[in-house]
Amino acid sequence: MPRKLMQHTLGKGASSDKELCETRGAHNRIKLHATKSYILAELWNMDVKKVNKTELYVVEHGSSFHGWKRLFQFDANLEFMVEEVDNTILASPSIDSDLHSWYISAGDMSRFLRSDEEALEFSAVQTLNLPGYTFQMSIANDACLARWMTNGQGGRFALYRRNGTDADFLLRPPVFVDVNMPPSEVTIVREQHSDGFHAVLWHWSYLQYLQIYSLDCAVGRLVAENSLPFVDFDASPYEERFERIPSGNTTEQSRFLHLVYRRDRVAFNGTNPTLLLLGDAAWLVADNRRLERFYALVDAGFVLALVMLPRQPQGSPITNAEYLANAESTVGDIRAAAEHLVASGYSAPQKIAALGYLRSALPLAALINREPKLFGAAMVALASKDPLALLVWHQSRVQPGPDLADRLRKFKLQVDPELLQRIRQYSPSHGVREAGDYPPVLVLDVLMDGHMSEFCELCRFGLWRLLRDKL
């Protein structure tokens, strides 16, 4: 970080906005965040000739500029909302489409700022996952964090209370207060009251603003303007929980489930239908229209389970031999999530439908090929064709047509046996069998607007059996 910028931030050097602009360069921007204990500087590299980059730096109040340390760096232009709860920093990128908030505990932050390390190790960062919601403002104190969010159906306040110091997670799972009015007709402001800041909700009708109620973060309740209780936090029928998936492996400690269900629809006796969203599939609930459908499932008695997969593989088993290490770890993570749902009484294997999307798709396919009785159904949404189908296409130039069956019978595949074994293992189509021991599997090509890929059509018409013996 430029020296003049750091001095300006601490009030020791630059004295004008002009000098600040000169220190950051013609293509850069800066945004400052001030919390109770820290000052954070958000820098963007906007040079069109370079890769866009966002960096977030931190320093304690009262420190010299030598104390600046880098928390995060991303090869993209992001904006952050920064909050502090009991000396713990929460940083949430892309405020208008927030899915993840990262937090660094007070102890880890203190050690980092006093160490010789130039950048924070990502192992010190923990994740708070909120798929499907966008938040527009937040306020925090040492006891809790309050956010105003929209979920496609309306607006809601989310209150996160502080967990104990020895707890796995900084914050307890959120308690929601739903507001039954269109989000487009709501304005949220921050107001100073005698007991601190409140998040105040304004609603307008016929161009007249009406202040109706506010969320008191200190008291932890929603109050009307006349200071009478408006609604109890426990009035919402929905329950949201974070559960860590047990493991003795320290590398796997970041695996956890985010569960959503209705209290009045769920019995913990293994009878609940469950939709298990894997890794990238959490992005599917970010769309408001899809989110409404997910809520309809929850209202009907489904448990919605989102599992974080910290080691999802990159690339393809066809082109990347290193794909296997992370893919195998992800297979284990998916298996552990399914077994945890059963052991905790949420569901049973035949009642779990798993959805693998993008990077989690092929590990899910591999797990179904090995242990088909883990799930009752599965959907695999790929960013390209099934890897086995792609190999067949490359080798045979097979195209649909009236003589397709004859051409497939004559087809001969010549490929490295080790590569073929790897590709078969991660093929969602490889599990097709004449015997009915496999769950229903739907394979979608997400680059084809949700239609099934051509090779899945081959499976549908039974032509896969012609290829099975050749592969």
Which pLDDT tens digit goes with each residue over 72-126?
Answer: 887 777 778 788 877 788 887 755 554 567 778 778 888 888 888 877 776 677 7
Separation between Cα atoms, residue 148 and residue 113, nearest integer Å: 31
Q: Which of 71, 105, 129 is the last residue of a domain?
A: 129
**How would residue 417 be classed by pLDDT, with cut points 50, 70 and 90?**
confident
Between 36 and 219, residue with greater pLDDT? 36
CA–CA dist 116, 66 (Å, integer): 11
Cα–Cα nearest to 224, from 184, 179, 174, 173: 179
Of 24-28, 252-256, 310-314, least confident by mean pLDDT is 24-28
- Per-residue pLDDT, 420: 74
Predicted pLDDT at 294: 83
In this prediction, what percent of the chain has a pLDDT beyond 70? Answer: 54
Which tokens belong to 361? 């798709």
pLDDT tens-digit readout, 385-402: 667 766 666 665 555 556
16 and 151, same domain (yes or no): no
Answer with the residue of higher pLDDT: 170 or 17. Answer: 170
Are residues 255 and 376 located together in one domain of the fold? yes
- Same domain as 415, residue 267: yes
Identify the residue with better confidence: 301 or 4.
301
Q: Are 181 and 155 in contact (CB under 8 A)?
A: yes
Q: Are residues 93 and 166 in the same domain?
A: no
Minimum mean pLDDT among 13-22, 320-329, 435-444: which range? 13-22
| Separation of alpha carbons 445 and 430, rounded Å | 16
**What strands lie across the sheet with 155-161, from one edge to the other?**
134-140, 144-150, 155-161, 175-179
Residues 301 and 221 in one domain: no
Could you give the count of Cα atoms lying within 13 Å of 124 in the half-sphere of its Cβ? Answer: 19
Span 173-217, pLDDT tens digits: 777 776 655 555 566 666 666 666 666 666 544 333 444 455 555
Same domain for 206 and 243, yes or no, is: no
Examine the domain organization and report whether 108 and 189 are in the same domain: no
Mean pLDDT of 285-298: 77
- Say if residue 347's pLDDT is above 90: yes
Q: What are the E-state strand segments in 100-254?
A: 100-104, 126-129, 134-140, 144-150, 155-161, 175-179, 186-193, 196-205, 208-216, 221-224, 229-231, 238-244
Domain count along the chain: 3
pLDDT confidence tier of residue 233, bands split at 50, 70 and 90: very low
- Band the pLDDT of 321: cuts 50, 70, 90: low
In this structure, are 393 and 273 located in the same domain?
Answer: yes
Say what the alpha-carbon torsion angle 358, 360, 365, 368 is, to the nearest 10 degrees: -150
Element (H, E) at 120: none
Nearest alpha carbon to residue 38 among 85, 95, 101? 85
Phi-psi region of 230 (alpha: psi -120 to 50; beta: other; left: phi over 0): alpha
Assign 331 to helix, strand or coil: helix
Quote the domain boundaries for residue 197. Answer: 132-236
Hey, how many other C-beta atoms are within 10 angstroms of the C-beta on 179? Answer: 21
Q: Tell me the residue ranges of DSSP E strands in 167-207.
A: 175-179, 186-193, 196-205
Comparing 17-21, 41-45, 110-114, 202-206, the range with the smallest average pLDDT is 17-21
Q: Model pTM greater than 0.75?
A: no
C-alpha–C-alpha distance, residues 234 and 447, integer Å: 42
Is there a single domain that holds both residue 103 and residue 167?
no
Q: What is the pLDDT at residue 47?
A: 59
Mean pLDDT of the chain: 69
Would you state the pLDDT for residue 340? 93
Q: Same structural domain for residues 158 and 177?
A: yes
Looking at residue 4, what is its pLDDT?
34
